[in-house]
Amino acid sequence: MDATDRTSTSPARPTHALHVRLLSDPGIPTRLLTRTEPRLAEALTALFGIEVHVHRTEATIVLDDDELVDIGTTVREGSAEEEHADIVLALTEMPRLDGTHPLLAEVIPEQDAAVLSLPAIGIVTTRRRLTDVLVLCAAQLLPHLPRRGSLPRPPLDGNWTATPDGPLRLRALRGLGTARTVLGMVATNAPWRLAPRLGRALALAAATGAFGIFYSSVWEMSTALSVLRLALISALAVVTMTIWLIAGNRMWERAEGRGRAATEVFYNLSTVLTVGATVSILYLLLFGFILAAGLIVIDPDYLTAVLARPASFDRYVDIAWLSASMGVVAGGLGASFDSHTDVRTLTHRGRERARKAQERREQEREAQESRGQEREAQESREMQGSRRHAYEGSRST
């Protein structure tokens, strides 16, 4: 179904100015949308030929139990700030699926809203692709507004599909779209920001790996090993620590039903890649530390005498390479994320659960406040009735 063929029962929009409200999850979605906002305003102005006002709000976008975006709840959270928006465009960091197809966007005409999934948009030319998808969604929500410009083309692997209950979905193909979505999930997990949360593990690994600087047997072994064998050892060290961290912190998700199997595959793939990337960053930091320490501590003449070959820079690299692998295996196992780290916020599934729990707490708090207000109103009515009865009794006497 082509995007331009969409019809709507929505009333005609104002032709003097268009007010667009942007919602975004905290963190990377908000930062990205902030940089994209001027480009979006220019693109919409060129498309419709009218003045466009873009208002941006940061708000947590919650998924309901059916993995659908509760856009109504999200819009109500910020409705006091932007009351006159013609359409709402929301950007979430959560991946969304249509069967086994990643969803780039979902247009909900009856709510004048569209929800975009940042991971499915990808990590390459993200701002341009995000702007294009935002413009496409705006055009779907404003079918009666005359256009003076041309629509951007959907992503190469994106196609619009209609659903029986009304929403229109822009979904990606399984192959390229799946790979892009998983990599996008890893990017929104920001493994480079998780690395500092493994400070204790890095300290233990550094303390163990430093022994390689002082033991000549490690020097000789590193020199005797081939580059391929050293690479295999380092890969084994990274994989071992990755498995340890995932298993030790119970970060592996099990499908809670047949319909959730595809979703859990996305979550688990992104978790493995995120933790693996974090451990790889720590490995490189450890390698750099040991290499620098080795260049300072190990005298070249002494190294030449021990190895019976010239103490070239390659020899120091081999020593640091093997020592870093030893440090990760021996010092990293048994370690975990720092005690102040909330492991639940490190992955998409954990953050999703935290959001739903927070939403339930807020609903319970609102329900309690409502019951309290009703109780106070009832008590006030009873008190007024008692006073009226007493007053009427005094008059009759």
Q: List per-residue pLDDT tens for the chain, 397 residues long.
A: 444 444 444 444 555 789 999 999 888 889 999 999 999 999 999 999 899 999 888 888 776 655 555 555 555 454 444 557 889 999 988 888 888 888 899 998 888 899 999 998 887 778 888 999 999 999 999 988 888 888 888 776 678 888 776 688 888 888 888 888 999 999 888 888 877 777 778 888 888 888 889 889 999 999 999 999 999 999 999 999 899 888 888 888 876 655 567 788 888 999 999 989 989 998 999 999 999 999 999 999 999 999 988 989 999 999 999 999 998 887 667 666 666 555 666 777 777 776 666 666 766 776 777 777 777 777 777 677 666 666 666 666 5
Q: Is position 166 within any domain?
A: yes
55 lies in the same domain as 163: yes
| Cα 394 to Cα 388: distance, rounded to the nearest angstrom | 10
If asked whether residues 21 and 168 sit together in one domain, one would say yes
> What's the domain range around 282?
190-346
In the chain, how many domains are there? Answer: 2
DSSP β-bridge partners for residue 169: 106, 161
**Could you tell me if 103 and 204 lie in one domain?**
no
- The answer as to whether 378 is a domain residue is no
Phi/psi for 107 (5° steps) reads -100, 130
Task: Indicate the residue among 126, 153, 178 that finishes a domain.
Answer: 178
| Range 132-135, long-range pairs (CB < 8 A, 24+ positions) | 133/104, 133/105, 133/170, 134/36, 134/40, 134/43, 134/89, 135/40, 135/43, 135/44, 135/47
Instruction: Based on the fold, state whether residues 155 and 195 are members of the same structural domain.
Output: no
- 112 plus 228 within the same structural domain: no
Same domain, 170 and 206: no
CATH number at residue 55: 3.40.390.10
352 lies in some domain = no
Within the chain, where are the H helices? 28-48, 71-78, 118-121, 126-141, 174-189, 191-194, 199-209, 211-214, 216-224, 227-248, 261-297, 300-307, 313-327, 348-396
Same domain membership, residue 134 and residue 245: no
Question: Residue 55 phi/psi, 5° resolution?
Answer: -120, 125
Q: Would 354 be classed as within a structural domain?
A: no
Residue written as token pair 């019951």: 371
Residue 389: inside a domain, yes or no?
no
- State the pTM of this model: 0.77
Q: Are residues 139 and 242 in the same domain?
A: no
3-class secondary-structure state, position 101: strand
Eight-state DSSP code of residue 332: I
Where does residue 166 fall: left (phi above 0), alpha (psi -120 to 50 degrees), or beta otherwise?
left
Size (the chain), residues: 397
Is residue 138 one of the residues assigned to a domain? yes
Q: Tell me the residue type at 277.
A: A
**22 contacts 54 by C-beta, under 8 angstroms:** yes
* Domain end marker among 305, 330, 346: 346
Residues 148, 211, single domain; the answer is no
Q: Hey, what are 247's tokens?
A: 């298993």
Cα dist from 94 to 54, 125, 148, 212, 275, whole Å: 23, 19, 34, 43, 18
Is 318 part of any domain? yes
Report the candidate in 43, 57, 17 with the shortest Cα–Cα distance to residue 130.
43
